[in-house]
Structures are given as structure tokens and as C-alpha cells.
Amino acid sequence: MIAIIDYGMGNVRSVFNALDYIGAEAVITSDHQQIEDSDRIILPGVGAFGQAMKNLNDAELVQVLTREVVEKRKPFLGICLGLQLLAKHGLEHGQHQGFGWLDAQVTPLESKSGEKLPHMGWNDVIPNGKHPLFHGIRSEHCVFYFVHSFQVECNDKNDILATCRYGQHFVAAVAKNNIAATQFHPEKSQDSGLEFLENFIQWQPEEC
Amino acid sequence: MLKKRIIPKFLLKDGRLVKGLRFHENIRQAGNPVSTSKVYDSYGVDELIFLDIHASVESRKTTLDIIEKVSEEVFMPLTVGGGVTSLKDIADLLKAGADKVSVNTAAVENPNFMTQAATHFGDQCMVASIDYRQVSPDIFRVCTHGGYRVTDYEPLEFALRMQDNHCGEVLLTSVDRDGTMTGYDLDMIHQLSEVLSIPLIASSGAGSLEDCMNAFYAGASAITLSSMFIFTDHSPIKIRSYLFSQGLNVRASSSSRN
């Protein structure tokens, strides 16, 4: 059972629909017990860092997730804002503290040569070597849907699973032990996205 | 690098797809929206746009129903609009499965509505849909109410206002070229894309492969197609191959699971 964390921000329904489509059992929830009973956790997110942290803290979800993911090492996938929240802090509308699971910070994407912002659309994702989450996705189909104005800057380069280029190179995905997260939306990336989600469902982090 | 986007635009009226000419002339039935979405998904289009052109209370309920069904089977960004006048309208659409909501008349009548919506739901959720027509040589004005009413706003001026009010994207539609398949309004696309720092989706007028290419060269980040898909044999796959052969950065064709 996959718990899709509902904290009032984010397209939980789309993630649920995609998992349902590929035959995975999932539940949209903010209930601590259901999260504890789950085998895997997905944290989606669309919107502002500060508001998200507030909602998660109000529902005491940060503690629950830290226990289930960092201590009990359940496979975890953060999506979009769900990646950014894992950083130590974010700088959107003031400085806000994140989960701190990654030695990283969230900074604005810069438009260095007139690129339009937000970074919105399909872009090539370049994995750093082989990883089960990108298994079976050929390079010409390693294209996913992005929509964001901020990026995660990882201080520990070993955490970077994949990068993308939009004017500058930026982190497209991270993986650290059982914790993975993507800046792109696999639930909105048609075949490639569904393949990625299937890989997440099969993923056994302790074998890496 | 970021790919240029090809987006079918579907007009909904009471639960069916329709297509017209210059918005109001010669409105024809064009099929079932859910099955058509799946067909386009299998062609690997980049996003889908749905506009409810009736936008009555009943039509809106049907639209929500359609979006729910589409989002259960098609996994790409969905933009929905038509008659959106309140934050609740936006919330309902997002809950039904829309990723972005487009606002037209309501934003013209009250530009602050865009700011409110963007603050509440996030910039990336909000698309400013700007319809315009030519009122005299070299003079263009923004229209509302499905193209029926002409305002005093000039398209560029209004687009900049919407950008200032935090919309994530502009959907620019020429009422005059709608359904004519005579080409996009390249001058207007160029004018706006030069100045806007947010993406521009060019809408109305596509009739040939060259039209599509020209719109991108004029500066559009994305193009919508409606008549060209429904009334000609040009498929997204053909368009994509053509654009790729002309050196444009588009996605390689990939089919969906359908």
C-alpha cells in the first residue's frame, strides 16, 4: 500500500490516478496510522514552500514522515515541491526551514539567456549512471514534464540522481538511500512517467 | 533543452467537442472528448486544453465530469477554462483533475482576480487566456465573453498586466483567425513573446505544417491546434516530425499505453 500524503497542496488525485492505472494500491491520506501501515510513501506538492511546511507541521506530518522514512527506511518519493521540501531551507517569500533530509537549499531558477519562467514543459533528464528508478527508460524517452520556478542545490553531489538543463544545469532528481525525489512530475509524463512510477513501486533500496 | 509544445485545444459544449469559425460561426460537432483525449494521448501530444464555451451551470458540471474521466486515463498536463469567475470554480477544476486553469473574462473585468487566484493556487496553475480581434487597421483589442465584447485593452498591455499579476502563462487567441486555418498571427506572437518573461501559448489559425513552424520561430513556447487536427489529415506525429526536420526542439514521438 502506497501512502500519498495529503497536506492540502498538490495534485494528489493525479498521483493516485497514475498509480491506479499501473495497478498499484494507493491511498490519499494524512492519517498517521495509515502512513505507518503503508509500505511506500509519496509526497507530491505544488505551490509555495512556506505554506507547505506550515500545513505539514500543523498536521504533525514532518515527525511522522521522518520516523517512517529516515528511521524505518521506507521507500520514499517526493515530487516537485515534495523534492524541495527535503532541503534544509527554502528561500521563497522569506526563509523557511525544510525537512533537512538533504544537505541542500532551494533557490530561484535564473533566466540567464532570456529563458521564460516558470520552467514549464517537457525537458530531457540525464541520469547520473544506472539506477533502478530509471530502469528501462531509453535516453530518447527520458523526457519528463516540469513546472517550477525554484531548484534544489545539493551540497553533497552524491545525492544527485539526475540533472536537466534550462539555461543552467539543475537537479532533476535525487536519491539518497531509500529517499528519492524528482523535480519533474512523473504522473504527468505519459509513458516515461508511468515507467518511472512502476520502477518506484518495484524499488528495493537496500539492494542498491 | 526545453521542448516546444504542441497542444490540442478542445472546445466543449454540453459535454461534446465542438469547433467553430471565428468563434461563433458554423459551430459543428467534433466528437466525444474522453475518447478523443485518449487518441491524442496515443499520438504523444504535450498537453491538452479544454475550454467550456457554454459555461452554464449544467455545462460546468458536465465539464468537471469529463475532466475527471480524462485524468483517470491520460497522464499529461490538462488546462481547463471557460466561465471561471471565482476561486471556487478554480478549486473545483483542480480537484477534478485539471493542472492549470485558464481565466479570460473574469480577469479582464477584474485583473486582481488573477493575483488572488495565483496567490491561492500558485502562479503555475493560472493561465491568462487573452482573446483579441482587429478593430481597425493596426488596432487590436482584447475581447471578453467568448469574443462578443470588445474592451479598450490592447493585447500586449493586458498580457503584461496579467504577468505582473502572477499568472504562469499567457494563452493568446486571435478571434479573427479562429477556424480559418490561414496561419497564426505572427506579428502579435512576436510582439508579446519579445516582451513577456512567462511562456506564451499561441492559439488560432494553424492550417499547415509551415504555420506551426512559423509560430515557434515568432517566439511561441507552445502552439494550440484545433481545426487543423479535426478537419485535415495532419496528425501530431506528422507535425512533430516536420518540426524536428526543420531543426526545432520537439519531443521525439512516443506512444502512450493506449
ipTM of the complex: 0.91
Q: What is the mean pLDDT of chain A?
A: 93
**pTM for the complete prediction?**
0.93
How far is it, in rounded angstroms, from Cα B137 to Cα B135? 7
Q: How confident is the model at residue A195 (pLDDT cuts 50, 70, 90)?
A: very high
**Average pLDDT of span A4-26:** 93
Q: How many contacts does A have with B, using Cβ atoms within 8 A? A: 102
A92, A187, A195, A198: the catalytic one is A187
The shortest CB-CB distance from A123 to any of B2, B75, B124 is to: B2
| Model pLDDT, residue B257 | 40
Provide the pairing of β-strand A150-154 with A104-108: antiparallel
More confident residue, B107 or A91: B107
Residues of chain B contacting residue A146, judged by C-beta atoms under 8 Å apart:
2
User: Treating both helix axes as pointing N-terminal to C-terminal, what angle do B57-73 and A12-21 enclose, rounded to 10 degrees?
Assistant: 50
Q: Is the Cβ–Cβ distance between B64 and B92 less than 8 Å?
A: yes
| Model pLDDT, residue A64 | 96
- Among A34, A138, A152, which residue's Cα sits nearest to residue A100? A152
Active site residue A80: yes
Cβ contact (<8 Å) for A46 and B122?
Answer: yes
Count CB atoms within 10 A of the CB of residue B9.
23
Active site residue A154: no
Per-residue confidence in pLDDT tens, chain B, 258 aa: 899 999 999 998 888 888 766 676 767 777 889 999 999 999 989 999 999 988 777 888 889 999 999 999 999 999 999 999 999 999 999 989 999 999 999 999 999 999 999 988 889 999 999 999 999 999 999 999 888 899 999 999 999 999 999 999 999 999 999 888 899 999 999 999 999 999 999 999 999 999 999 999 999 999 999 888 878 888 899 999 999 999 999 998 654 443
**Beta strand ranges found along A9-149 (DSSP E):** 26-29, 40-43, 76-79, 89-90, 96-97, 104-108, 119-127, 143-148
The shortest CB-CB distance from B168 to any of A18, A118, A192 is to: A118
| Model pLDDT, residue B14 | 83
| Model pLDDT, residue A90 | 83
Alpha-carbon distances of B73 from A176, B31, B137, rounded to whole Å = 32, 18, 46
